Amino acid sequence: MREERPVLSLFSGAGGLDLAVERADADPLDTADPGRGLLSVAVATDYNEPALATLSKNFPHTPTAVGDIREISTAQLLDQAGISAGEPALVVGGPPCTPFSKSGFWLEQKRTSSDPNASLLDEYVRVVREARPQAFVLENVQGLTYKTHRAQFERLLRGLGDLGYNPQWKVLLAADYGVPQLRRRVFVVGRRDGESFQFPEPTHSGWSDRSKLPHVTASEAFADLPTLAVASDDEIVDGQYGSLAAEIPPGQNYLWHTDRYGGRDVFEWRSRYWTFLLRLDPDRPASTLQAQPGPWVGPFHWENVPTSAGVHRARRLRVNEMLRLMSFPDDFVIDGSRADVQRQLGNAVPVELGKAVVRSLVTQLGILKPHSSARAIALG
């Protein structure tokens, strides 16, 4: 029987990229297809307790290295995985994106790219250098590529390039690969043999490109989910802006309540972030799911719901809806409140986007036959 090829997962979080790895040979856009185990995460790492609980529930057979990656040696990771340097098929991971995210750009340390967590990129390079995988996949927010963080990004590419991996990078839109979300992320991919990695071609597009499948809309993603007559208290968008949020049409945001649109003239034009009081458009992919939104930050559902007092209010997204927007399996388990779930999913890699990248990589490495799926035979 063919052995699963081992993968080291760094900064594993909720396990979006881990799922992508283990389902790389599954059928595209089939979230119920677990694949045949071509690749297996041999060890996962994280320091966040809720994330570790999520990993243990959904990857019960995967050992975890718990703690700050700066204090975990590569030798320890390899030992827990039961392999030696040079044996990992892949090193994958997304160093925490906080230093490079648009969120919180008002902080001086983020505007100047001096956040100490940025050094986690160097830890990723260190593990690749010492573990010598056949290839690696690094994922992060698009902000890592901005001029503000150019020094960190170029140091990352230079460090990986000096190892002979010839890193290639590209910003990918999740919706272009069948994910019902307009989420942009940068992927950096490199091969030990120095061959140049070719990123997968988009399979979906907007209305302007008829040669591809249309983007998956939010309403299509939610189509077969159960409808609940009553919303829970933590779903209701109420309080200071509750009535204003409820009046905003699908696809609109606080700008509806400026002097240029049809709502109340309450806000100044472009005085807030785009996501402020944002409602989903059922006929488009969702905007990016935020990890730690404020109480008035969307996207909120396009439909209003009645409260116990009989007034209608906008509602926040439910767990099953967030799983769909991130292309996670419906049976994926994340404990905690709705906010806890959103925090983990908002920081995760959309599974189908990750699958597209990893599948393309293992195909180019000769591990998977071209156009293979879970129903085809992987190369020995």
Beta carbons of 227 and 192 less than 8 angstroms apart: no
Q: Which of 359, 347, 343 is nearest to 139 (CA)?
A: 347
The sign of the torsion formed by the CA atoms of 265, 271, 276, 278 equals: positive
Chain position carrying tokens 């099953």: 320
Q: Which of 160, 137, 123, 48 is nearest to 88 (CA)?
A: 137
φ and ψ at 41, to 5 degrees?
Answer: -70, 115
- CA 220, distance to chain mean position in Å, is 20
Neighbours of 257 (CB within 10 A): 20
Per-position b or e across 103-137, b if 16+ CB within 10 A of its CB: beeeeeebeebebeebebbebbbebbeebbbbbbb
The residue count for the chain? 380
Give me the catalytic one of 44, 97, 341, 362.
Answer: 97
Structure tokens at 144: 């890592």
Please give the radius of gyration of the chain, using alpha carbons only, rounded to the nearest integer: 21
- CA 68, distance to chain mean position in Å, is 21
Classify residue 251 as left (phi > 0), alpha (psi -120 to 50) or beta. left
- Which residues, including other chains, have CB under 8 Å from residue 241's CB and lie 6 or more apart? 277, 296
Annotation says 97 is catalytic = yes
Ranges of H-type helices in 59-119: 74-81, 108-111
Neighbours of 82 (CB within 10 A): 11
Extract the runs of DSSP E, i.e. beta strands, from the chain: 5-10, 39-46, 64-66, 90-93, 135-141, 168-173, 181-182, 184-191, 204-205, 213-214, 286-287, 304-306, 312-314
Q: Which amino acid is at 130?
A: E
Catalytic positions are 97
